[in-house]
Amino acid sequence: MRIFLSGLAAALTLSTAALAAEPADTAAALRDRALGDATAWTILEDLTTEIGPRPVGSPAMTRAKDWAVETLTTYGFTNIKVEEFAKPTWRRGAESASIIAPYPLKLSIIGLGGSVPTPAKGVEGEVVIFRTLAELEAVPDGSLAGKIAVVTTPMVRTQSGEGYGAVGAVRRTGPSIAGRKGAVAYLTRSVSTSDSRLAHTGIMRYAEGAPQIPAAALGVPDAEQLERLAARGPVRVKLSMASSVDPKSVAWNISGDIVGSERPEQIIVVGGHLDSWDVGTGAIDDASGIAITTAAGKLIGDLPRHPKRTIRVVMWGSEETGGSSEAYAAARKDEMPNLVIAGESDFGAGRIYALQLPARAMTSGALAPLPGLMAPLKIFVSREPARGGGADTEGLEKAGVPAFSLRQDGARYFDFHHSEDDTLDKVDPDDLQQNVAAWVALLYMIADTDIDFRALKDAK
């Protein structure tokens, strides 16, 4: 593991300010230090290079667990915990698809996570194109017997990533709908803004009682080619997919603390998810989030006096296929009253442009300096309250823990997300440092104040 320590230099530079300054002054000093600090890049490069892809249940994920413990230890975190939970896992096998009529053409596909395999000899059928999931839902049950259903809804590129949510159902629920209609297999245009032929995977789940048919995503140009061909006449496709399920595998949530100096029992929970899909190296999803939050915690931990409250960085162990949020919330149920706020970095390393806090948070004078702290980073404090902190904080939020969100520019995120293109070269080091600067300033401000987000939310 390649880790370069800058903690001593940081402590010497910030020692006087940290001991005597107002929280906003120390937060500003931390922000500025983050803009020149290489810790996040070192963590990101190390995780993606040393461990690589990290699907749950794989030997790589076991190595990632050990890497997480070593990394948190090296960077000065304490109270390090490895919390195991049961997690059945799906494993990809060999996959292929081809047009066989009107002419042969190999298609770029990737199986959707959770898909059943095809028979050993594959499945073959005429494709039926649906431009939307609603069109597929509208055909009679059983009407697609022997056919392969193909949904070709494009994803709209947006800064916020809302285009992803708008079409996500084509991946998550489309296979079950197609199965009810009698289809022998299901293909969807990748939920992606890319024009690359690389296909994008992601989780899907069969509805209770629905037929379980093989399901895969097509590279965007291939989906468009099928659509054009089908408009001219019948198209036949052959699909072959292998997969297996291990019902007895496990995953881990790994955490470490920067312990508060006055009220250590009050905890701010942040982090990213350690697992990734089996394609690419999971650089944007979500080694970047691991690197950003760990580096922010480390910079605060370097101070000679820690802020009043504890900052906990969690490396959640199963976000892509689910389970880590519920497991973490269950393991920490006795701590819930003392969890101050929660947030996750899980949208790559695009530059942050907005901060969303819990409702009424900015009515507290303690956070009045935040707009000024964020302005040099070209971040505004939104009037809209955070709708959530991330997939892995949902379990905490359901138990009443307030959440915040640092909104990132995701205009290009879905070009690479869940594909072989999710690699280190897609991360801009300057953007990564801007993320750390925003996180470290915000975390210090919350950790060194007495703000009670629950009370503010309930105030009238």
132-137 CB contacts, 8 Å cutoff, 24+ apart:
133/169, 133/170, 133/173, 133/174, 133/177, 136/174, 136/177, 136/178, 136/181, 137/177
User: Burial, 62: exposed, middle or buried (Cβ in 10 Å; 0-12, 13-18, 19+)?
Assistant: middle
H helices present in 317-452, as ranges: 324-331, 370-374, 394-398, 413-416, 429-447
User: Burial, 454: exposed, middle or buried (Cβ in 10 Å; 0-12, 13-18, 19+)?
Assistant: middle
Kindly name the residue from 95, 319, 320, 394 that is annotated as catalytic: 319
Identify whether the C-beta of residue 407 lies closer than 8 Å to the C-beta of residue 380: no
Token pair for 375:
């302005």
- Side chain identity at 64, as an amino acid letter? A
Query: Phi, psi (5° rounding) for residue 156?
Result: -90, 135
State the DSSP string of 119-151: PTT-EEEEEEEESSHHHHHHSPTTTTTT-EEEE
Cα Rg, the chain, nearest whole Å: 23
**Has 320 been annotated as catalytic?**
no
Token pair for 247:
């019902």
Catalytic residues, by residue number, are 319
